[in-house]
Structure formats: structure tokens, C-alpha cells
Structure 1
Amino acid sequence: MKRGNRYRIYPNKEQKVLMEKHFGSTRFVYNKLLNIKSTLYRNCRISISEFDLNNYLLVLKEIYPWLKEINAGALQQASRNLNKAFTNFFNFGFGYPQRKSKKDHHFSFQLPQHYDLNVEKSEIKLPKFGWIKVKMHRDIFQGEMKTLTVSRTPTGKYYISILTDDGIELPELEPFSHATLIGVDVGLKTFAALSTGEKIDNPKFLKNSLERLKCLQRRVSGKVIGSENRRKAVHKLAKLHELISTQRHDFQHNVSKKLISDNQAIAVETLNIKGMMKNHSRAQSTGDAGWYSFVLKLQYKAEWLGKTILKIGQWEPSSKTCNVCGYKYQDMTEEIREWQCPDCGTNHDRDINAAINIKKFALLGQEVEPVDSQRLLWRMKQEAPPSKA
């Protein structure tokens, strides 16, 4: 089983400079190899392999001698990542690989070599960097190390993510019944409604910090580009964005852990989130809720513990259908939060009724979608939440 943890590190001034060189160099190599691979296929219909890309990497080192200062494994990993991006594009429906920009604020590089760890001094030794202080907030998973990723946030915090494989297979799925299956309906007013009748309030972290965000953004806009005052203003804005993101991840981890621990199976509804984000009146609230991220956490936690996630089709009328008699209320609008079934007279809370129907549809097997393990594994690596400093 592949497991990973993220730890904050505290490099000194010289190590920070070297890390910045690694961030830029791996991005430069990735973009150059992407251009080579795309040009050869577009003009000559030639598809080159990862081995051929590594040969081009040797040529790039001769053309750009400063690449020799960078860890060779980090540059080879950039080539490997590009090849994997094309594999995901052709086989798993991901988008075509795009150039990396330093304005994307995704600063990272990978080191495939092994590391040395001094638990007593809380230090880790990385190739080319030497010993670096690390905050050991939890033990590192034991097993074969796959990759070690060094990253930097927009606020200037450095982290390492260590991915290991302990060789243990994922547990088999535990059997579930009607009593151990729970339906979950996510929404804007209520973050999640459960088929048991429980409701989880939406914390709305972005909305609560919106006025402060606008204030900080105005300060950034008023500063001279390239000035020290603008850099400080951007840093304050980035810190608030990071706080909101951390709050959202922490909340979703707590809720998903509780749901997975208390139930053998969870049924959720497939949502067209991209389509919802096109609705400008609700795009901000939809992004603030973070439904996709929440369901993702449910999925990989379920895989680790042998639980089951069932996803029903997005067109199932879960909100409009009476869970008692099956009557469909065709004229229901978003403003209606409670309604009475004209057929059997049952009073319904819209969200609770939807959660109960999601559970019923999942048990009936109507348009249940299987989990894409390859896409899920890729997303798990992107989803690693920052540790608390």
C-alpha cells in the first residue's frame, strides 16, 4: 500500500537558494522536453519514449551548463513526469500536458534517491542539500521509498512529501447492508445532509474572510509593481488564502474521517461541478464548498480501510422524489427547502429526502459509477494537505 506524509522543513539561506534553482530548472526542463515531444509529433508524427527524452536531457545539459548544478535525479524525474502526463492523457482522459509557469505558484521537484533521517535532532539529509531541519509531527511510514517531493507554498513555507510502499495490499472490501450504508447529499446551505437525518453545517470559510480578502487585494493593486511594499502586500494576501485553504481541508478531513469510521459504505451523488461553476451567481459558493475535494477524501480513506463508495448518476431525481411513495414533484425549484408529498402526505426536508433517495438509488444499483483507481491515485498525491506549523 502506498502511503505518504508531508513535513515542514526549515532550510538555511544557502539551501533555499539551491532549492529555488531546482524549482526553476525542473520547470525549464519539463517545458523544453514538452516542446520537443510535441514538435516532433506535430511535424513528423514521431512519438519519442522516456528513454529518448533522457538523451535529449543530456543535450540540454551541454547547451545550458547551469543544469549540471542541479540534482540529476530531479531532472530525470521531470522527464518521467512528462511521460506520465502523456500516458494519463492517452489512457485515462486527462487533458493534454501544458507548459509550467512560475506564476502558477506550484513550486516543486522530486528526488528519487534515498534520504538519511536523524530522529533525535529532527533533521533529514537530502542529496545536494545536506542536513535540513524538519518538523516531525508524525512518524514516517515504513517501507520502500518511492519518491521524495520538495515543495514551496506562495507564503514561503517549504515542505517535503515522502511516499513509501510497505508492500501490503489494500484490504478487501467489507460487506455492507442497508443498515451500514449511509446516503450523503452535499449542498450550499447545508454542507452535507445524511440519510440518518443529521445535517452538517457549511462553515463557508471563504465567505467569512471575503471582506478581508478584498481589503488585502486592494492594497496589492495600489502598490508599485516590483516594489518591496508590493511583495509584502502579496505575502499577506497569500497567507490569508493559505489559511482559508487549510481550514477547508481540516474541516473536510474531520468530516470524511467520521463518516468512513462510522459506516461500511457511503453513497454520494455525481455532480457536474464544472457546469455549476459556470453559473456566476453561485460559482463562488460552489468553490467555497469544495465538494470534489470532499468526495475525493472519502474515496481514498475508504480504499485504505476497505470501505465502499457508491456514486449514483447525476441525473437521478433525488430531491424531487418522495422517499416514501416514489412520487416525483416536477415543479420543485431551488427555493423550496421543505415540501409535502401530494400523494402520501409526507412532509419532507429537501436535503434529508435527497440523502435518503441517494441511499435507495445506490442499493438498487441505478447508474452506479465505479471509482477510477488510476485517477484517484493521481489525485491523492495532489491532495496532500499541509501540516500545521
Structure 2
Amino acid sequence: MLKAVKVRIYPTQEQFITLAKHFGCTRWLWNHSLAVMTETYKTTGKGLSGLTMKKRIPALKVEHEWLKECYSQCLQQSVLNLGQAFVNFFEGRAKYPNFKSKHHRQSVQFPQNVTVVSDSAIKFPGLLGLVAAKVHRLIEGTLKTVTVSKNPDGKFFASLLIEDGKLSPKSSREGSAIGIDLGLTDFAITSDGSKYANPRHLKKHERNLKRKQRKLSRRKKGSNNCNKARIKVAKVQGKISRVREDFHHKLSRKIVNKNQVIVVEDLAVKNMVKNHNLAKAISDVGWGQFCTMLKYKAEFEGKVYLEIGRFFPSSHLCSKTLLPLEKMDLSVRSFICPHCQERHDRDINAAINIRNEGLRIWASGSGVTALGRNVRPKGGRLKSTLSPGYCD
């Protein structure tokens, strides 16, 4: 299986300059190739592959000598990634590739010739040499590629892609099943009655972020003081992102360790954030990142991750009688079922319905297997898609 380990690296001043050149060269080559490929398609109706653009790199080095300061395989990998981005676009898996900016996160990929020397150093090819690092995990397997990235707050990271040589574990039906209802008041409500409060990370740092952003707005654009203020804002935003990610990692690990089958809803977050009253709260809670963590952690453990259709009325069915309920306002958090005459917690009732619906679809043999995904469109017909690379 392929696994990725993200570690912090600490380049020296010389290595910082070298990495900056790598970022700039690969970014320029990406933008240049994207412009050429787009213009070619507009004029001829035929696109250019990443391999074709790769063969043009030697001619570009003659025309732009500063490209020679970048490790050659980083340049080649940049255009190959662009070619794959176009493949993903034409197959409907992604949007049209965008031009890269120097004002956001920067990255460069080393496809080979990188060695983890120890838990405190990584050896890169070219002028980088040995770079100080904090490798917090034992690297077992073959190192495939390494992606070096720089965040807007100035911190450097290296993402190590490792092939451990192990086969994906087979899924089993033995173990408990759990349904998860995601919300805003409580971040996650499970079918066993557990509730995990929403930490509201942005609200805790909002005052500090507001103060830093106000100072940034008063600085003259392009000045050194403006750049210093921008870094301070980026550090606060990076802190918010890290604490949110830490919360998602710990909670997803806890849920995966305790359960064999995990069922969640397929939420249309992009549509939900169009509600301007809830957009900030929905963006802060990070449902998409949490579900992604649940999915890949379940895959590594040989467990089952299912998503039921977003149009399944989990909040409008009684979990005991499965009979429909009248529509309730969001302020109603508990209700007495008119069918069974019992009081139900709205969120726990929805989580139980999510679990039961996921198990029903899985047991019905409708093409859904471990790590499958169930999407119920408006017509009500169930469409099932499997995650890439999964074999039953």
C-alpha cells in the first residue's frame, strides 16, 4: 500500500534560496505549459500531452538559462503533473487546471534520488544536499516521491510517499457498526448516543486574527512592513488550520479503532456554504476533511466506510418505526414520535437512521462494497461508485 508521511524540515539560508529557485522555476514552467496547451487546443482542437511538453524542456532551458538552476526531474515532474491534471479534467474528476501564484502555498516534487538518512536529516539531489528534518515516524518501505512545500507562514514540510509492500487488508463483517450525523452545535453525533462538541476553532482565534488583519490593511502594499504583517496573519491562520486538523485526526482515529462499519452522509458542502448565515460556521467545522480522514484510515485498517445518499431523509424518519415525521424547525432538538409515542433526540435519531440505511444498502448487494460510496440523486435511483483501486 501507498502511505504518506508529512514531516517538518528546516532548510538553511542557502537551501532556502535554492528551494525558492525550485519553486519559481517549476511554477513558471507549469504556467507556461498551461498557456501553451490551452492555446493549442483553442486553435487546433487538439490538446498536448504532458510527455510532449516534457520534450520541450531542453529548448526552454536554452532560451531561459535560469531554468538550469532547478533540478531537471523537478521540471519534468511539473509538466507530467499538469498532463495528469488535464486527464482528470476531461474524465470529470477535477476542474480545469489553474495558473499558480507566488503568493500562496508553494511546492516542488522530487520523483527519486531522495534518501532519509536519519530521523533528523533528509538527503535531496542537486544543490540542496542534507536538509535538517524531524522524522517522527519509522520509514518502512520504498520511498517513491517527496514533495517539498512551503506554507504562507514560512514553514517548510516534506511529504514522503512510501510503498510499504503490504497488500490492502480485506474487509470483514465482524464488529460494530456506527452511523455519524455531522452538525454545527455538536460536531458529530453517533448512533450509540455519543456527542462530540464543535470546538469552534475560528471563534477562539477570531479576535487575534482580526487584530492582525487590521494591522495588515494599514500597511503599504509591497513594503517590508506589509510582508511582516502578512506573515503574522498567515501564522494565526496556520494555527487555526493545525488545531482543526489535530481534532479531526484524533476523533477519526477514535471512531475507526472502535468500529468495523462507519456510515456517514454524503454532504453537499459547496451548496451549503451558499447560505450566508451559516457559511462561516460550515467552513470552519471542516466536514470534508474529517470524512476524508475517516475514509483512508478505514482503508488502512481493512474496515468499511460508507456514504449514503444526501437526499435520504435521516431527520424525518422515526428510527424505530421507520415512518415519516413532519418537518421540524432546526431549533427543535428533541421530539415525541406520533407513531411510537417515545421521545427521541433529533440528532441521535438521525444517526441511527444513517447507520441502518448504510447497513441495508451494504447487505442488499447493490454493488456497494467496502469503501464504496452511495449517491442518491433527485430521481431517487441509487447510484453506486467504488473508490479507485479497490478490488473486492
Q: After TM superposition, is the score higher than 0.5?
A: yes
**Which residue, 164, 167, 176 being the options, matches 1:166?**
164
- 2:113 maps to 114
In 1: Cα distance, 2:290 partner to 2:229 partner: 31
2:326 paired with 1:330: yes
Whether the aligned pair in 1 keeps the contact of 2:173 and 2:260 (CA below 8 Å) is: yes
In 2: Cα distance, 1:339 partner to 1:2 partner: 47
In 2: Cα distance, 1:172 partner to 1:257 partner: 19
Report the Cα offset of residue 86 of structure 1.
Answer: 1.1
Whether the aligned pair in 1 keeps the contact of 2:193 and 2:348 (CA below 8 Å) is: yes
Counterpart of 1:293 in structure 2: which amino acid?
Q
Whether the aligned pair in 1 keeps the contact of 2:179 and 2:264 (CA below 8 Å) is: yes
Report the Cα offset of residue 223 of structure 1.
Answer: 1.3
Q: Please list the CA deviations of residues 27-61 of structure 1 after superposition, one character each: whole Å capped at 9, or x if unmatched.
A: 11011111111111111122222321112222211
Whether the aligned pair in 2 keeps the contact of 1:194 and 1:355 (CA below 8 Å) is: yes
In 2: Cα distance, 1:75 partner to 1:56 partner: 11
Counterpart of 2:141 in structure 1: which amino acid?
G
- 2:357 maps to 361
In 2: Cα distance, 1:79 partner to 1:18 partner: 20
Report the Cα offset of residue 331 of structure 1.
Answer: 2.5
CA RMSD, 1 decimal: 1.7
- 2:368 maps to none
In 2: Cα distance, 1:156 partner to 1:375 partner: 36
SS in 1 for 2:257: helix
In 2: Cα distance, 1:134 partner to 1:331 partner: 55
Counterpart of 1:328 in structure 2: which amino acid?
P
Counterpart of 2:152 in structure 1: which amino acid?
P
- 2:28 maps to 28
- 1:373 maps to 387
Whether the aligned pair in 1 keeps the contact of 2:189 and 2:195 (CA below 8 Å) is: yes
In 2: Cα distance, 1:317 partner to 1:236 partner: 45
In 2: Cα distance, 1:374 partner to 1:76 partner: 26
SS in 2 for 1:252: helix
- 1:251 maps to 247
- 1:379 maps to none
Q: Which aligned pairs between 1:173-188 and structure 2 lie closer than 5 A?
A: 173-176=171-174, 180-188=176-184
Q: Which aligned pairs between 1:187-226 and structure 2 lie closer than 5 A?
A: 187-226=183-222
- 1:381 maps to none
**Which residue, 298, 302, 306 being the options, matches 2:302?**
306
In 2: Cα distance, 1:310 partner to 1:11 partner: 42
In 1: Cα distance, 2:42 partner to 2:254 partner: 50
Q: Please list the CA deviations of residues 320-375 of structure 1 after superposition, one character each: whole Å capped at 9, or x if unmatched.
A: 11111123223311111111111221101111010001011112218934565349
**Which residue, 149, 152, 169 being the options, matches 2:150?**
152
SS in 2 for 1:188: coil
SS in 1 for 2:314: coil
- 1:386 maps to none
Distance 1:116 1:342, change over 3 A: closer
Report the Cα offset of residue 245 of structure 1.
Answer: 0.5
Whether the aligned pair in 1 keeps the contact of 2:374 and 2:385 (CA below 8 Å) is: no
Report the Cα offset of residue 176 of structure 1.
Answer: 4.1
- 1:380 maps to none
- The size of the alignment, in residue pairs, is 371
SS in 2 for 1:319: helix
SS in 1 for 2:153: coil
Whether the aligned pair in 1 keeps the contact of 2:74 and 2:109 (CA below 8 Å) is: yes
Query: What 5-or-longer segments of structure 2 have no aligned partner?
Result: 363-372, 376-383
Whether the aligned pair in 2 keeps the contact of 1:311 and 1:362 (CA below 8 Å) is: yes
Counterpart of 1:228 in structure 2: which amino acid?
N
Report the Cα offset of residue 72 of structure 1.
Answer: 0.2
Counterpart of 2:118 in structure 1: which amino acid?
V
TM-score by length of 2: 0.91
Q: Which aligned pairs between 1:42-191 and structure 2 lie closer than 5 A?
A: 42-103=42-103, 105-119=104-118, 122-128=120-126, 129-140=128-139, 142-176=140-174, 180-191=176-187
Identity %: 40
Q: Please list the CA deviations of residues 98-120 of structure 1 after superposition, one character each: whole Å capped at 9, or x if unmatched.
A: 111123x1200001122233327
Whether the aligned pair in 2 keeps the contact of 1:114 and 1:145 (CA below 8 Å) is: no
- 1:19 maps to 19
In 2: Cα distance, 1:172 partner to 1:216 partner: 50
In 2: Cα distance, 1:284 partner to 1:197 partner: 27
TM-score by length of 1: 0.92
**Which residue, 267, 274, 281 being the options, matches 1:278?**
274
In 2: Cα distance, 1:371 partner to 1:186 partner: 22
Report the Cα offset of residue 7 of structure 1.
Answer: 1.3
In 2: Cα distance, 1:152 partner to 1:106 partner: 6
Report the Cα offset of residue 226 of structure 1.
Answer: 2.0
Report the Cα offset of residue 201 of structure 1.
Answer: 0.7
Query: What 5-or-longer segments of structure 1 have no aligned partner?
Result: 377-389
- 2:39 maps to 39
Counterpart of 1:202 in structure 2: which amino acid?
N
Whether the aligned pair in 2 keeps the contact of 1:327 and 1:341 (CA below 8 Å) is: no
Counterpart of 1:146 in structure 2: which amino acid?
K
In 2: Cα distance, 1:151 partner to 1:165 partner: 21
In 2: Cα distance, 1:59 partner to 1:330 partner: 69
2:346 paired with 1:350: yes
Report the Cα offset of residue 187 of structure 1.
Answer: 0.1
In 2: Cα distance, 1:226 partner to 1:34 partner: 28
Highest RCO, 1 vs 2 (Cα 8 Å, sep ≥ 6): 1
